[in-house]
Structure 1
Amino acid sequence: MERHAFAMKVKDDMMNSYRQKLGEIWKDLTLFLDRNQVKNFSIWNTERLIFGYYEKEDDAELNAEEKAVRDVLIEKMAETFEWISEPGQDMRLMYHNYGFIRENKELIRHRVFMTRLKDGCEEEYKARHDGLIAQRGDTVDPGPDSNFTIWSAGGYIFGYDEIDTTMEVDETPEARETTVAWETRQLEIMDWITDDVDWMTGEWHPASRRLAWHN
């Protein structure tokens, strides 16, 4: 299974129009997704940022007719946003921890986060997360997280995580200390857009919200 992501920024005063036009094309969009076996498609929003995530079978390519359909759907919304990622191309994958994939999504919650990297810090961010992958080695994370991916484009970071609520446990004091140490270090190289570490910094940021989902 391939995982893909894209990002946009809604133009000034166009969020209402973006949501409206998404509703107008939704039936045709979901038919397009079904025809091309695109799964777990979701669109997330924080402030003016849009983050999209979806999955498809390995090496499944659109034919010319379906590419034309895709382009028409995008064009119907094009006046409302500007691309952050390159159209038709994935953002840079900065981190992955796929774990055991939950086919049943009824008992998961999502964590989707967005940050902005400080100037010149993209490679440091990648190196720190490569270190986490190296520590994990070939061990498959049993959960509760799965499909955990972090992407980068245009100086932004977008994270996607599916969390099995039946496996969640309260964080121990030792684990909390580790979390605080990691997040404090991350604040050296990025600024939060979503509210994920407001509990630690005392600042206020908006939460991410899911605008749309199709399985």
Structure 2
Amino acid sequence: MERYAIALKINDGKMNDYRRTLGRLWPEITAFLDRNEIRNFSIWNAEDLIFIYGEHDTAFMLSPEEEAVIENLTSQMSDLFTWVSTPEQNMRLMYHNFGIVRSDKELIRHRMFMTKLKPGCEEEYKARHDALIEQRGDSVDPGPDSNFSIWSAGGYIFGYNEIDTTMETEETPEEHENTIAWETRQLEIMDWITNDVDWMTKEHHVSSIRLAWHP
């Protein structure tokens, strides 16, 4: 499966316009997704940032006609945002734990998070997560996490995760201590935008909001 990730920053005072334009264009967007067999497509928001995620069975190239459709849709929003990721390119994949991807999403809790890396910390962030992949080796994580990927562009981090709610359990004391140790160093190399570790820092951040989803 190929995964695609895009990030935008909404221009000052344009969030309401973006939402309205998204609603107006949604039938055209979903028709494009269906024609090109792009699935599990979602659009997320926190503060002024937009993260867009989608999947396709295999790598593919859009036809010139479909490229024109994308250009037309983008042009109708171009005054509302600036690019965080590079247009027509995937963001840098910083981490993955795809595990067993569930096709049935009814019992899935979606988690999407955003952070801002501190200057010069991107490679440490990548190395820390590469070490997790090395520890896992060739084993496939049975869950509850699946389809977990973390992306980077423009100094930002965007994480996407699908969590099987039937497999979730409370952390053991040892696991909790490990989480605190991990997040303590993470807090030294990045600033959270979403509220994922507010339980630990006692600070207040916004939660990510899923603006749209198309299966």
* TM-score, with structure 2 as normaliser: 0.99
**Which secondary structure state, in structure 2, belongs to the residue aligned with residue 112 of structure 1?**
strand
Displacement after TM superposition at 1:171 (Å):
1.2
Alignment of 1:52-67 (within 5 A): 52-67=52-67
| Letter aligned with residue 99 of structure 1 | G
- Tell me the alpha carbon deviations over residues 86-113 of structure 1, each in whole angstroms, 9 at most, x when there is no partner: 0110000000000001000111011100
Displacement after TM superposition at 1:59 (Å):
2.0
Alignment of 1:9-20 (within 5 A): 9-20=9-20
**Which secondary structure state, in structure 2, belongs to the residue aligned with residue 212 of structure 1?**
strand
Displacement after TM superposition at 1:116 (Å):
0.3
Displacement after TM superposition at 1:77 (Å):
1.0
**Which secondary structure state, in structure 2, belongs to the residue aligned with residue 195 of structure 1?**
coil
| Letter aligned with residue 33 of structure 2 | L
Counterpart position of 1:186: 186
Counterpart position of 2:164: 164
Counterpart position of 2:31: 31
Alpha-carbon distance between aligned partners in 2 of 1:127 and 1:59, rounded to the nearest angstrom: 26
> 1:105 aligned to 2:105?
yes
**Which secondary structure state, in structure 2, belongs to the residue aligned with residue 119 of structure 1?**
coil
Q: Percent of counterpart pairs with the same letter?
A: 67
**Which secondary structure state, in structure 2, belongs to the residue aligned with residue 187 of structure 1?**
helix
Counterpart position of 2:173: 173
Displacement after TM superposition at 1:78 (Å):
1.1
Counterpart position of 1:47: 47
Q: Which runs of 4+ in 1 moved over 4 A?
A: none
Alpha-carbon distance between aligned partners in 1 of 2:59 and 2:93, rounded to the nearest angstrom: 17
**Which secondary structure state, in structure 1, belongs to the residue aligned with residue 72 of structure 2?**
helix
- Tell me the alpha carbon deviations over residues 145-195 of structure 1, each in whole angstroms, 9 at most, x when there is no partner: 001000000000000000000110111111110000000011111000000
Alignment of 1:199-214 (within 5 A): 199-214=199-214
Alpha-carbon distance between aligned partners in 1 of 2:98 and 2:6, rounded to the nearest angstrom: 18
Gapped regions of structure 2 (runs ≥ 5): none
> 1:139 aligned to 2:139?
yes
Count of aligned pairs between the two proteins: 215
Alpha-carbon distance between aligned partners in 2 of 1:86 and 1:189, rounded to the nearest angstrom: 23
Displacement after TM superposition at 1:57 (Å):
2.1
Alpha-carbon distance between aligned partners in 1 of 2:83 and 2:12, rounded to the nearest angstrom: 14
Counterpart position of 1:122: 122
Displacement after TM superposition at 1:60 (Å):
1.8
- Tell me the alpha carbon deviations over residues 112-136 of structure 1, each in whole angstroms, 9 at most, x when there is no partner: 0000000000001000000000000
Counterpart position of 1:5: 5
* TM-score, with structure 1 as normaliser: 0.99
